[in-house]
Structure 1
Amino acid sequence: MNLPNKLTVFRIVLIPVFILVLSVPHNWATLLFSGEAIPVNWIIAAIVFAIASITDFLDGQIARRQHLVTNFGKFADPLADKLLVMTALIFLTSFNVVSAWMTAVIIIRELAVTGLRTLIVENNGKVLAAQMPGKIKTFSQMFAIFFLYLKDMPFAAIHLPIGHILIWIAVIFTVYSGLDYFWKNRDVFSDGM
């Protein structure tokens, strides 16, 4: 197994770690920042999420630079990203930090685009490459989730709700990039109709 694929597998392994960290009761320990109590397990979860997000960036860079792109990587890398983001958002929704409709929009888009990618591979054997709106969506989702778990630290000191600003940007680009993928690949559906 090459290094990019090992990083992808590592990211997948971090998901249950992330879940375990967030499953600890919140009141066992908190830190105070700018008058805001932040559960310690949220801080640990943010660190785990950040490490997983960095591996997402690294595995793609290494795979392209060293020509180590594999079918496993094409399949597992986006799957790992989606599983990580969906897990993080489901917990944030359960903690009443992110609205359920936002989480639903993001999850529906991720599943719909995954289905579209499957259709494209089955029809012509090509993998649907990420476009710039999708990359902006991923970037804004990752940073939004990170700052939401940190309750906007250190931006909370200047009362800037960076996490909520970024999640709105993520939702907008989630919808836009999803529509863009479907519009650009609409010919996939003409074959079966």
Structure 2
Amino acid sequence: MNLPNKLTVLRIFMIPVFIILMCLPSEALGVMSLVGSQISVVHFLAMIIFAVASFTDYLDGYLARKYKLVTNFGKFADPLADKMLVMTAFIMLVSFNLAPAWVVSIIVCRELAVTGLRLLLVTDGEVMAAAWPGKVKTATQMLAIIFLLTDDLFFKAIGIPIGQILLYSCLVFTIYSGLDYFVRIDMYLRIHLLKQNNKRSLKQLFWAFIFTKEC
């Protein structure tokens, strides 16, 4: 297993550590004052774990591309690890009333839907690269989680609810990037199938995949 794949696996193993920290009583390790904000030490440590895990998301992709260490395992496991990390964090935020359940529900449904569409391509040996809306979505999601976990850090002192701003920004990009991905994958499949003289739509492809496992 190469280094990028090891980083991906590390990110997956950091998820239960994040969950354990979030499940501890918020006062278990006391409260710390940081730039005008009162932050639970437990939540601060959970934020550090999440931030490090998020950084490995960037690092493993960078190393894989730079040193040509891209593997089929990495293509499948890397986005899966990202979804597991982000969805776990958002669910924990809801449990602590740090994020609205309806917002997180939309985000989770979008991530599951896009992951399902990606699986359609993976089974055919294809991977569609993330476009800029997806990259912005991921960045805003991770930043929103970090600031919500830390009570907006120094932004609270100047009265800017940066966590909520980022949360609703990532909601917009989550919806937009999901629609963008759906359109791009539909166009890709139409072109791909037309080359094979097959005019099935994405909807027909989906049901064929579900019932016959053949695309």
Q: TM-score category by the smaller chain?
A: over 0.9
Please, what TM-score do these two structures have when normalized by structure 2?
0.85
Partner of 1:21: 21
Structure 2 residue matching 1:109: 3-state secondary structure: helix
What are structure 2's unaligned runs of at least 5 residues?
191-201, 209-215
Aligned to 2:155: 155
Task: Give yes or no for the alignment of 1:32 onto 2:33.
Answer: yes
Q: What does residue 9 of structure 1 align with?
A: 9
- CA–CA distance in structure 2, aligned partners of residues 57 and 99 of structure 1: 27
Which position in structure 1 is the counterpart of 2:43? 42
The one-letter amino acid of 2:82's match is: D
For residue 89 of structure 1, what is the aligned residue in structure 2?
Answer: 90
User: Is structure 2 residue 56 aligned with structure 1 residue 55?
Assistant: yes
- Structure 1 counterpart SS, 2:151: coil
Structure 2 CA distance for aligned equivalents of residues 179 and 49 of structure 1: 27
Deviation at 1:154, TM superposition (A): 1.8
> Secondary structure of 1:38's partner?
strand
Please state how far the C-alpha of 1:175 moved relative to its aligned partner: 0.2
What whole-Å deviation, never above 9, does each CA across 1:67-104 have from its counterpart, x for those lacking one? 00001101111111111101110011111110001110
Match of 1:128 in 2: 128
Answer whether contact 2:37 2:154 (CA < 8 A) is retained.
no
Q: Percent identity?
A: 55
CA distance in 1, matches of 2:59, 2:91: 25
Aligned amino acid, residue 75 of structure 1: F
Output the TM-score relative to the length of structure 1: 0.94
Corresponding residue pairs, total: 192
CA RMSD of aligned residues (A): 1.4
- Structure 1 unmatched runs, 5+: none
State the alpha-carbon separation in 2 of the partners of residues 108 and 98 from structure 1. Answer: 16
Deviation digits for residues 118-147 of structure 1, max 9, x if unmatched?
A: 11223x421121111000000000111011
Superposed counterparts of 1:168-187, under 5 Å: 168-186=168-186, 187=190
Q: Between Structure 1 and Structure 2, whose CA radius of gyration is higher?
A: 2
